[in-house]
Structure 1
Amino acid sequence: MKDKVLLFINGDHPKTFPDPDQYGLIACTDGAFHYLKHLGFPLDKLDFISGDFDSHSGSDESVYQDKFILTLDQDKTDFHKALEIIIERGFTKIDVFGGSGGEQDHFLGNLTVAYAFKDQIDLKFYDEFSEYYFVPKRFKLKGAKNKMISLYPFPSVDKITTTGLNWPLDQGSLNITSRIGTRNFAVEDEVSIQYESGDLLFFVGINEIDYPKVY
C-alpha cells in the first residue's frame, strides 16, 4: 500500500511535479488548485481540494464538486485544516509542495503549522532550492556530500553536535536571537546530528554546490 501523501499548498508552484503514482493520496488547498489547473497537473488524480474557497471562482465546481471539502474555521490556515483531514484519513507521511515563496507571512505560518504537527506526522517541504523538515534529536542523512545544509533553531537548540559538515558543532547551542546555523555544506556523504533539547529545522539543498573548502 502507498502510505505517503502529496499535498500542494498556495506558495510558489513547483517547477516540476513528482510522480503522482507513488502516492496513496493527493490533495491541495483551494489556492493551489489554480496553479495545478494552469500547469496541467492531472486534476483527476486529486483526492480532495480543501479550504474556504475564498479565492475560488466556482467555474470548476460542477466538475470537481465531489472533491471539495469546505473548511470555514478562520482560526486555522488552509494548510492546517488540510493536514487534519489527511490525519483523519490515516496518513502520517506527507510531502508538501508550495510551502515557500509568495507572501512571506504565509511561509512563516506554514513553518509554524509544521511545528505544531511535528510529533504526529512525518512532513517534508520541497521547493526548487531545497527540502526541509524538523528532525529528531538523533538524525542521519546519507547522500549529502557537497550539498548546502542549513540548521535553523526553532527557536533554540542546546548541546548540538554535528559530523560531516564543513563547519561542525560540538556541544554547541543555536538560538534564533543570537546564533543560527545556515549556509553550511556537507563534506562527507553522511551528515549526522544530535542534540539534547529544543527543536531543529533542517534544510538540505536539492543540487550539489561547488563550495570552496574552508578550514
Structure 2
Amino acid sequence: MNQLPFESNVVILCDGSFPNHHIPLSVLENAKQIICCDGAADKLIEYGMEPTFIVGDIDSVSDKTKTDFADRIVLNTDQETNDQTKAVEFVINWGAKSVIILGATGKREDHTIGNISLLLDYAEKLEVISISNSGIFRPVLQSQTIPSYKGQQVSIFSLGTPAAITSKDLKYPLKNTILNSWWMGTLNECLDESFSLEFEKGKLIVFQKFE
C-alpha cells in the first residue's frame, strides 16, 4: 500500500528524471495545475500534457515551447535560488496551501540533495512532499505518527539542529538517538501500519520507499 500523506491539485514538475513509477505518474496525470521548472516543460509536452505555467530563467526551454506557451512563462532570473524554489514561491503567492513536487531527483546528485533539503524550508509555508520514482520524501518538523505499512523501507535524515529521536514501530528502534551523520537513520523498516517519531527540537526528512 502506497498511500500519499495528502492530495493536492497543484504539482511542481522539476527538470530531473521524469516520472515513470505509477504513483508519481498518477499524481501528474490527475493534477489540475502543473507548474514546470524551466526545461521540464518540454518533457511534459513530449509526454502529451501541457504546463499551466513555466517558471525559471527559461534557459533550457526549447524555442518552440517558448513560442507556443509564451503566455504561460513566468520569467525569474534570480541567481540566489534554484528553479524549484522559484516555482514553490510562485504557487505560494498564487495562494496554494499544498503542493506535490515531482522530478526533483535523478540527475546531478548535488541538485538532488539541494532540492530535497529545501523541503524543510517550504514546509514552514505550505504542505509539501517530493515524490521520486522510488519513494516519497516528507519534511517532518514536529513529533508525529506517519502512515506506512509493514515491511516498508524507511530512512530518516536529520538536518540542522540535532534532534534526539525516539521511534515506535521501526525494526531498528531509536531511543533518544541523535543522528549525527546522514547515513545513521537510513535503511530502517516499518513494523506496522504506521510508525512514530518523537523529538523536541530539530528538522527531519523521512523517505518512504515504494514497493
TM-score, with length taken from structure 1:
0.86
* Amino acid aligned to 1:29: C
Tell me what 2:199 maps to.
195
Aligned amino acid, residue 106 of structure 1? H
Aligned length: 202
Corresponding residue number in structure 1 for 2:4: none
1:161 correspondence with 2:161: no
The letter of the residue matching 1:145 is K
1:210 corresponds to: none
Aligned to 1:213: none
1:29 paired residue number = 37
Deviation at 1:56, TM superposition (A): 1.9
DSSP-derived class of the 1:124 partner: strand
Alpha-carbon distance in 2 for matches of 1:104, 1:119: 25
CA distance in structure 2 between the partners assigned to 1:147 and 1:3 by the alignment? 23
> 1:11: Cα distance to partner?
1.1
**1:25 offset after TM fit, Å?**
2.3
Contact 2:100 2:129 in 1 (8 A): yes
Go from structure 1 to structure 2 and tell me whether the alpha carbon gap of 1:64 and 1:120 turns closer, same or farther (over 3 Å shift). Answer: same
Query: By percentage of residues, which structure has more strand?
Result: 1
Residues 19 and 174 of structure 1, relative CA distance in 2, 3 Å threshold:
closer
Deviations 1:99-153 (A, max 9, x none): 1110111112212332222211111111111101211322112232110010111
For 2:9 and 2:200, the matched residues in 1 are separated by: 29
The amino acid of 1:83's aligned partner reads V
- Normalising by structure 2, report the TM-score: 0.88
Stretch moving more, 122-131 or 140-149 = 140-149
**13-22 or 79-88, which moves further after superposition?**
13-22
Query: Which of 15, 18, 21 is 1:13 aligned to?
Result: 18
Task: Find the aligned partners of 2:77 and 2:98 in 1 and give their Cα distance.
Answer: 25
Percent of aligned pairs sharing the same letter: 25
Tell me how far apart the structure 2 counterparts of residues 11 and 21 of structure 1 sit (CA, whole Å).
17
- The separation in 2 between residues aligned to 1:92 and 1:180, in whole angstroms, is 33
Q: 1:4 to 1:136 in 2, by over 3 A?
A: farther
Q: Which has the larger radius of gyration?
A: 1
Q: Which residues of structure 1 form unaligned runs of 5+?
A: 208-215
Contact 1:154 1:176 in 2 (8 A): no
What is the alpha-carbon root mean square deviation over aligned residues?
Answer: 1.9
Task: Indicate the residue corresponding to 1:71 in structure 2.
Answer: 76
| Worse overlay, 98-107 or 133-142 | 133-142
Select which of 122, 127, 132 maps to 2:137: 132
Structure 2 contact 116–130 (Cα < 8 Å) conserved: no
Aligned equivalent of 2:157: 152
